[in-house]
Structure 1
Amino acid sequence: MSSRSLTPTVTRARRAYARIEEVDRPEVWIDLRPRAEVEQEARAIDARVAAGEHLPLAGRLFAAKGNIDVAGLPTTAGCPAYAYTPEDDAPVVARLRAAGAIVLGTTNLDQFATGLVGTRSPHGAVRNALDPARISGGSSSGSAVAVALGIVDLALGTDTAGSGRVPAAFNGIVGLKPTRGLVPTTGVVPACASLDCVTVFARTLPEAEQALAHMAAPPGRALPPLPQRTPGPWRVAVASPAQLGELDEGWAAAYETAVDQLRSAGAELRTLDLSPFTEAAAMLYEGAFVAERYTAVGSFVDKLISEGGTGLDPTVAGIITRARDIPAHQLYADQERLAVLRADALAQLDDADALLLPTTPGHPTLAEVAADPLGANARLGRFTNSTNLFDLAAVAVPAGTVSGLPFGVMLIGPAFTDERLARVARLLQPRLSAAVVGAHLSGQPLNGQLLALGAEFERATSTAPVYRLHALSTTPPKPGLVHAGAEGAAVEAEVWQLPAEGLGALLAGLPRPMTLGRVELADGTHVPGFLCEPAALEGAQDITEYGGWRAYLRTGS
């Protein structure tokens, strides 16, 4: 089958497997589905779309953390001896597949989802997507890196202490941690069942929101009516530099830049007392709440240790087995203290729409974590550990770079304010303009790709009179725009604004012969836009005389 006759989703699947070979990161995966099986499912998806079925996630590939059931693949939770092969997908996997997305495989994690580092696995430490000397963050390490490397569009993780946010920050992507119970955890190996959340990673916020909307379909925790919000600008609470504690070099300045960006966007800012959040964060592992990890897998860990402990990560095994001996009275005392801290934290938030914090205090190297595995992990959870204990929602988004590496922030808010947090987070996302001339125009088959990436229509225009337009033999039909200089003409175009990450996602998923380049518009400005490789024009009809793609389609050609 020639590359031109491949259906879009099959093309995307083949690029994913090629990308896996290209990046050579075997530690990202636990199990991959056979390529032929994925391509067969991709053809079926494209056939359903061609027949008129509405599949909003058609063409998207996703990965699932190795503690989430994918039918036919072993669920290991990062421990080979624990493996079982489920007959059915976990509901979150099933819901994404029902919307047209295709699961590629299961990803590596901190064993039994115990850690924020991404190094506690017999499958190897998952290295950071941008700097292999640094950690990827855990426990949803493989899922985050698979997205950051452009292998998959979406990935499922879990978040008990920050595992759906820390790796997002370290790899420059988005991590949505929904309100507890909004997304079902059935078919997920528990870490702390009362606190666990299934989360989603994506390269852009709109993509993550779209996936979460399908994952959260009923049955789930019922959405209560939110209190009426006092009219006015977004109100965002921030922390004083003193209460943030020690941060990596340059991180305090990066946080202040994010604060300034919200202020410039019109948000109303105020400082709160962060102490109830940080005190509760320390309780998650240092207090009695860690005993729930023993409840989840403790008896299995004990049995495996008695048989020699093969495949057990020693740090994880130590955390779980020590939790066995925590007295019941300590749990009750910690619950009472947590209730006081939660009331204080909610009072500090008051009527704020969100609390803005750095996602982590710093980004350690693999060597630093190996030298102090418990201390490094505890530091990483300073701002994330309290979120689920307080029953809050959160979203982690990129907020620039420090020394060439991603810097991330998160917005935290009361339960069920997930959508509100995402709207505030959009204020932190830089936006770019892009020109489209064909299947991405308003009302055309691929316009939904733009909308899914958070694009907004800017204006209708035309190109400068230096282009030729050709009808390509592709599925779906689309034109090819090429620069022709003095032999060219003006072509109808639209300009759309979309997040910078969205433009990157478009480029990552762009099938040949399309390319992304600078397009000159009628007013003399240049913006990124879709162009075509000249070699693809052989035998293609020149349709420049029609003035644009839609005018050509109206002829019925």
Structure 2
Amino acid sequence: MSTKHNFDLRISSLRQAYADGELSPRELMTLLVEKAESYEDHNIFIHLLSDEELEPYLTRLEACDPSSHPLWGIPFVIKDNIDLAGVPTTAACPEYAYVPEASATVAQLLVDAGAIPLGKANMDQFATGLVGTRSPYGVCHNAFDFNMISGGSSSGSAVSVALNLCSFSLGTDTAGSGRVPAAFNNLIGLKPSKGLLSTKGVVPAVRSQDVVSVFALNSQDAYEVFEVAAQADAEDEFSRKEMDLMPPAWGARPVLGIPSSETISFAGDEQAEKHFYDSIAELKKQGYEVKEINFQPWLDTAKLLYEGAWVAERYVAIEAFMEEFENVMDPSVGAIIAGARKLSAADAYKGSYALQKAQALTASLWQDIDCMLTPTTPTIYSIEQMQSDPIKLNSVLGTYTNFMNLLDYAALAMPTGFREDGLPIGLTMFAPAGTDRLLMKLADKLHGHFVPTSGAKETPVTTTHSEFFANPHAIPLAVVGAHLTGFPLNGQLIERGAKLLQTTKTAPKYNFYELSERPILKPGLVKNEAAGVSIEVEVWAMPKQHLGSFLALIPSPLGLGKVELINGTQVVGFVCEPYGIEGAKSISLTGGWRNWMAVRTG
């Protein structure tokens, strides 16, 4: 740990400090409450938990084994449209306040895992805004520059992480509220696929499109929170099981898309434009293939969220309250939601048809890329600028965010450095639903290439750790013969959406044969620990949903079994039953099928 007021709150570091006896959860929460109070002028919190409110959480942790709870003693902050039992939920509107008896499902899962809530965070009222200025509890100020906006609507959630008041926080993200504040405060902002984190106990904004989001200092911390919180909820009709989603597989380096020059906008911000293209140049230097994509279909879809019938969902969420208390609401929020009164059922159908068309049109754009990269926002504004033109400038900030949930994408905002004026900046990566873990893994790999620290208190970016991230939707599959790149059966992998992960070798425990069966030449890999050698293999990511159809194509004596790689890991791969090598030609010394084919036909 470091000094009293600048301790390392990364989950792994905090866990180690507890194990070493340097700190206890009770000591930490005392320090954090004291530190949070010192930032009163930032308007981060609507409700900071008192000693009496914290006591049950601390007492419970002190009575249990830290190793039995994956987030034992990890402090977090909750956006104030997410219920925490016994603490008022206001959605940044005092007249709306109520005290829930039970916590939102997502908050309860985290508490059950040992996490400790510090407080309820300030936000744009009723989660309507991307700015952090639409709250009667005061403007939430940027962690880097007091005069700049913090982003919204999850403003306090982001600033609390950036100012080292918690290890992670919960926000919500309907139109960008979990990504814009991350970009403006040098954080990872994870917007999970819709339905993976329960919205039971969350005040709706646009209920069919709402997502609970995660702010963290690094991708590994976001992943740990996701692991705990991404649980199907029978009491949330919009909940989905992660394994029911069927995202495409990615290769070792996903193909990246960026908006074409004709369809990208920076609202006249030359600093933002230069930084984005510098970031893309860095990715190309690292070996990533980048393709320009016509972004207009996504831009057109973004307009549906606020200019179309989905505004009616915001009205439905608070209809009874608004009819009585509209006069006390933030003027911008009230004006936006009141627009729903002009909408009809016909407008709703028109919006539905427009979205269906957009879904079909954008689906084809994924044929050439794995992951799309955009600026998180075109620019950033000062608080003064935002208050002078609140609705128009808010709309600009949503340029690259508003369409995400309508089109069912997972997304992640990642810092990529600092502007010339010292403000943080970043990009957003997104891909079809279910790619959450792939996005987190990619961000973990890239984050440290762009910035050395997270948040505003110089917390080091965690060293990348690719093995930290699992992919439950794809199986690594080792191939050794006719399925190799450039060989006759490779198309069976490609047509099932498999992507090449790596070319490597087996452990030195195998014998290799050309089998006598025809018409297609094929090899047999047989384990022989006593007299084996290493054989070259390609490892492909095979979507789980296609593994069965692939297995059906494999003729006896070949089959799929466990193959040990040179690094000691085991993957599914082609193996041969022992009887299959009767009459076969030993080709082990060639080291692999590609070498053998070169010799055989040479």
Displacement, 1:351?
4.7
Contact 1:29 1:106 in 2 (8 A): yes
Residue of structure 1 in register with 2:321 after alignment: 300
Is 1:14 the equivalent of 2:30? yes
Deviation per CA, 1:327-360: give whole Å up to 9, x if none. Answer: 2212211211121122222211225221000000
8 Å contact kept, 2:128–2:333: yes
Deviates more, 1:188-197 or 1:31-40: 31-40
The question of whether the paired residues in 2 share the 8 Å contact of 1:8 and 1:46 is answered with no
Q: In 2, Cα distance between the equivalents of 1:277 and 1:412? A: 12
Q: Specify the code of the residue in structure 2 equivalent to 1:379.
A: V
The residue aligned with 1:344 is 361
2:575 matched to which residue of 1?
none
AA of the residue aligned to 1:422: M
Partner of residue 548, structure 2? none
> Could you say which residue in structure 2 is the equivalent of 1:168?
182
Q: Work out whether residues 206 and 453 of structure 1, in 8 Å CA contact, stay in contact via their aligned partners in 2.
A: no
| Match of residue 137, structure 2, among 100, 108, 123 | 123
Equivalent residue of 1:430, what SS? helix
Instruction: Give unpaired runs (5+ residues) of structure 1.
Output: 435-449, 458-557
- Give, in angstroms, the shift of residue 454 of structure 1: 5.1
Aligned mates of 2:69, 2:368 — CA distance in 1: 39
Query: Could you tell me which amino acid in structure 2 is paired with residue 65 of structure 1?
Result: K
Of the structure 1 ranges 9-18 and 382-391, higher mean CA displacement relative to structure 2 is found in 9-18
Matched, 1:407 2:425: yes
**Paired residue secondary structure (1:386):** coil
The residue identity in structure 2 corresponding to 1:405 is L
1:355 and 2:372 correspond: yes
Question: For 1:41 and 1:230, how far apart are their aligned partners in 2?
Answer: 41
Whole-angstrom distance in 2 between the partners of 1:157 and 1:288 = 24
For residues 158 and 164 of structure 2, what CA distance do their matches in structure 1 show?
Answer: 10
Aligned residue for 1:463?
none
The counterpart of 2:276, out of the listed 248, 255, 260, is 255
Query: Aligned pair in 2 of structure 1 residues 367, 452: CA closer, same or farther (>3 Å)?
Result: closer
Residues 1:28 and 2:37 are matched in the alignment = no
Matches within 5 A, 1:157-236: 157-219=171-233, 220-222=239-241, 223-224=243-244, 226=246, 229=249, 231=251, 233-236=253-256
SS at match of 1:277: helix
Say whether the 8 Å CA contact 1:276–1:342 is kept in structure 2: no
Seen in structure 2, the aligned counterparts of structure 1 residues 160 and 231 have a Cα distance that, compared at 3 Å, is closer
Deviation of residue 41 (structure 1)?
2.7
> 3-state DSSP class of the match of 1:196?
coil
TM-aligned CA distance change 1:237 to 1:320, over 3 Å: same
- Cα distance, 1:239 vs. partner? 1.4
Is contact 1:234–1:266 with CA below 8 Å preserved after alignment? no
After TM superposition, the structure 1 = structure 2 runs for residues 232-311 of structure 1, keeping only pairs within 5 Å, are 233-247=253-267, 248-305=269-326, 309-310=327-328
TM-score between both structures, scaled by the size of structure 2: 0.68
Match of 1:73 among 68, 80, 87: 87
Taking the aligned partners of 1:14 and 1:25, their CA distance within structure 2 comes to 20
In structure 1, C-alpha distance between the alignment counterparts of 2:444 and 2:261, rounded to whole Å:
24
Q: Could you tell me how far 1:39 is from its partner in structure 2?
A: 5.3
Tell me: CA distance 1:293–1:264, structure 2 relative to 1, closer, same or farther (3 Å). Answer: same
- 2: distance between equivalents of 1:386 and 1:456? 30
SS of the counterpart of 1:375?
A: helix
The structure-2 alpha-carbon separation of the partners of 1:170 and 1:322, relative to structure 1 and needing over 3 Å to count, comes to same
Deviation at 1:266, TM superposition (A): 2.5
Unpaired segments of 5 or more residues in structure 2?
A: 5-19, 234-238, 453-459, 468-602
- Which residue of structure 1 aligns with residue 160 of structure 2? 146
State the AA in 2 paired with 1:89: S
Q: CA RMSD in A?
A: 2.5
SS at match of 2:68: coil
Identity percentage over the alignment?
39
Q: Does 1:88 align with 2:87?
A: no
Q: What secondary structure, in the 3-state scheme, does the structure 1 residue paired with 2:270 have? A: coil
Aligned equivalents of 2:203, 2:308: Cα separation in 1: 22
Q: For 1:229 and 1:202, how far apart are their aligned partners in 2?
A: 26
Q: 302, 325, 332: which is aligned to 1:315?
A: 332
Partner amino acid, structure 2, of 1:266: G
Task: Tell me which residue corresponds to 2:443.
Answer: 425
Q: CA deviation at 1:230?
A: 6.6
Would the aligned equivalents of 1:7 and 1:46 in 2 still touch at CA under 8 Å? Answer: no
Q: Secondary structure at the match of 2:385?
A: helix
Mapped contact 1:261–1:427 kept (Cα < 8 A): no
In 2, Cα distance between the equivalents of 1:115 and 1:231?
A: 37
- SS of the counterpart of 2:195? coil
Q: Counterparts of 1:90 and 1:69 in 2: how far apart (Å)?
A: 5
> 2: distance between equivalents of 1:296 and 1:218?
23
- Residues 453 and 18 (structure 1), Cα distance of their counterparts in 2 relative to 1, 3 Å cut: farther
Report if the CA contact (8 A) 1:288-1:330 is conserved: yes
